Chains A and B, each alone.
Chain A
Amino acid sequence: MLKLRSSIIKEILVLIRDMAGLAILFVMPMVLIFVMTLIQDSTFRKLDETYLEVLVVNNDLDSLGMAIEQGLASTGFFSVKTSLDDQNISEQVLHQHISEGNYQIGILIKEGSTKALREKAKILIEKALAEGNADSLRYEPDSSRTATVVVYFDPVIKNSFKQSVMNALDNFTSKIESKIIFQAFTEEVKPLLPEGSELSFLGESGITIEQTYASNKYNEVLPNSVQHNVPAWTVFAMFFIIIPLTGNIIKEREDGSALRLKLMPGSYITVLLSKIIVYLVVCLIQFFLMLMVGIIFLPLLGMPTLELGSHPGALIILSLSVALAATGYGVLLGTIATSHEQAASFGSVSVIILAAIGGIWVPVYMMPPIMQKISIISPLNWGVDGFYDVFLRGADLQKIIPQALSLILFCVVTMLLAFQYERLKKT
């Protein structure tokens, strides 16, 4: 115990007196989270389809125009803009903005559309009630008057967005068309009804479509830039401790301290254990700081607040598992690498590759199918996936056991490889 305690104190002293190392460990990852979250925020918002801006020119100014305008706004997917720089948008301006790519969708509701719809409805009702007697029709159809809604699309718009807009428009126009037909029908049959009685339009569909997420809790939490970037870059930063850790191991070997420690009874293992303990604590401090960035600092910049889920135990076990995996990888690299340069370049490049594969930069669900399959080889992916489970899917300890075990197993394997390599060097 004396050796372990002394070795831990030594590691802490070495660490806290290395300002550059401390910056790599704590400041740079926090800066990284800030920068990446802010950069990726707009991309994630588009992915969530929460802020698709739609220009609307409502020349109808009647029921159809209002229904489309209000309907689009009420979905939450579209941000409806009817004016730019406090000026109403004209058809010409709308066309110009879409063609220049300033906006991706524009909707023009032509003048008199609602009126045309009403006339059409009246003719339909009359026709139906006249039972084939065309002479008794009071309304003559005006072929020049039609209800027209023109949708302009930027050619680069994703097909899914295009489809969303068309579906929404179809929905709103159908509703308003039904309402207008019902109103026309009511007017026609009013004389036949007993005095004082009225027909009322129900409007709502008789079919209820329920939406629910497959997880038990946090149905309201969608993966936004904060929910992705904070855990992703935290895992990345935790793995980046391999740089100071391998540097520490190689320095000890180069200056002969490792040799001296190896010649002390039972000390080398103790020293290695102390490094693992100290760097585990470093990882946990990093993790705590990153969470603070997501909970406190990013919301100050207008970003969403990081949701932590409701199982702190799962969160602690998962972060410990990631820390163990990162430390194990660092010990292996530090044992095998023959110089600082080799360890730093191989270490950083390997973590970046594992991060790219593992869905740190681009979430795995956005990758092509082949990359999604490959991503499971990256321990960073196991970590991020586990955090997704805890943050977004309300996973408890039991649910994250596969990821935690995989990370711990990775740590065990890397440690064993390091010890085996060290043993081989003796011969």
Chain B
Amino acid sequence: MNPKTVIQLENITKFYRGTTDPAVKNISLQIPENAIFGLLGPNGAGKTTTVNMLCGLLKPTRGEIRVNGLLLPDHLKKIRQEIGVVPQDIALYPTLTANENLRFFGNMYGLKGTILKKRIAQCLNLLGLEEKAQRKVKTYSGGMKRRLNLIAGILHQPKILFLDEPTVGIDVQSRNVILTYLKELNIDGTTIIYTSHYLEEAENLCTHIAIIDYGEIIIEGRPEQLIQSKPEYTDLETIFLHLTGRRLRDN
């Protein structure tokens, strides 16, 4: 039996105001339930535009997006309750403590009282921050901030989690804790949509991968399938370079 599709994109095109070239060109994708879906591509390939449309932050110029069968943007409010987002930037208040930050974001998701308190304690414990909960975020190291950034996106136990480069610029230990936790979340039933430039990390973590370039999906499938389909290449990184080229993408 085919797994249920949680996110479906049909012929999505996005033009930004005042531009003639589309940022995303006629993309169609199906993301199955409980997948860890890696959306990979060079800078400016269209990853962020695609994710922003999936979250309802941007409206597609053409095409249709369904999340859990619900059409965007008609059911935006309901969809937003079911998704969690971990932005690439540390989207936290540096002058507030970890606890104050999490209490605020938890309240914003409608969590309160003992439930919120327990959930904060549980997440802090799992990501090794329980002892630093009363410290202001500005005193945290890069790895601690990343872990806290992740917690703020999953407090409300979303069914679908969007992660934009969640391990960028952190030490190996913090990266290991984050990736282990993401796998646990996935085992518990969370579908994860993940963008990264770390292809080895994506290869190990993701159950599904799509490579996007110049606004188009150029290859899609399970990592092992992609590697098998190109026997001349040994890993995802060499396939990626083969498909997207070695030219620098500064824009």
Contact = CB atoms under 8 A, between A and B. Distances in A.
Interface of A: 2-3, 5-7, 9-10, 13-14, 17-18, 254-257, 259-267, 270-271, 424, 426-427
A396 to B, nearest CB: 42
For the complex of A and B, 9 pairs with smallest distance between CB atoms: A256-B91, A256-B89, A6-B107, A256-B87, A17-B95, A260-B91, A265-B80, A257-B91, A267-B108
Interface of B: 17, 55-59, 77, 80-81, 83, 85, 87-96, 100, 103-105, 107-110, 112, 152-153
A18 B96 CA distance: 11
A10 B80 contact: no
Nearest to B111: A2
A386 B12 CA distance: 55
A208 to B, nearest CB: 69
Contact of B108 (A7, A17, A254): A7
B95 A260 contact: no
19 contacts: A2-B110, A3-B108, A7-B108, A10-B96, A10-B100, A14-B95, A14-B96, A17-B96, A254-B89, A256-B89, A259-B91, A260-B152, A260-B153, A263-B55, A263-B56, A263-B57, A263-B80, A265-B77, A267-B108
A426 B58 contact: yes
Contact of A264 (B80, B87, B90, B94): B80
Contacts of B104: 6-7, 9-10
Nearest to B56: A263
Nearest to B152: A260
Contacts, number: 80
Which secondary structure dominates chain A's binding surface? helix
A257 B83 contact: no
A10 B93 CA distance: 9
A24 to B, nearest CB: 16
B91 A13 contact: no
Contact of B57 (A18, A424, A426): A426
A259 B152 contact: no
A424 B57 CA distance: 11
A426 B100 CA distance: 30
A13 B57 CA distance: 28
A262 B57 contact: yes
Contact of A260 (B77, B87, B100, B103): B87
Contact of A3 (B93, B96, B107): B107
Given A13-B100, A264-B80, A265-B80, A259 B107 contact: no
Contacts of B89: 254-256, 259
A256 B80 CA distance: 17
Contacts of A14: 93, 95-96
A263 B58 contact: no
Contacts of B77: 265-266
A257 B85 CA distance: 11
Contacts of A424: 17
Contacts of A3: 107-108, 110
Contacts of A267: 108
B109 A264 contact: yes
A164 B161 CA distance: 81
B110 to A, nearest CB: 7
A13 B95 contact: yes
Nearest to B101: A10
Given A2-B112, A6-B104, A6-B107, A259 B95 contact: no
Contacts of B91: 255-257, 259-260
Contacts of B94: 255
A186 B170 CA distance: 110
A423 to B, nearest CB: 10
Nearest to B138: A17
Given A14-B93, A255-B89, A256-B90, 12 more contacts: A2-B110, A2-B112, A3-B107, A7-B107, A10-B96, A255-B94, A257-B91, A259-B89, A260-B91, A264-B80, A424-B17, A426-B59
A424 B100 CA distance: 33
Nearest to B58: A426
B117 to A, nearest CB: 14
A262 B81 CA distance: 12
A14 B101 CA distance: 11
A6 B90 contact: no
Contacts of B59: 426-427
Nearest to A9: B104
A10 B83 CA distance: 23
Nearest to B105: A260
A318 B100 CA distance: 35
Contacts of A260: 85, 87, 91, 105, 152-153
A263 B110 contact: no
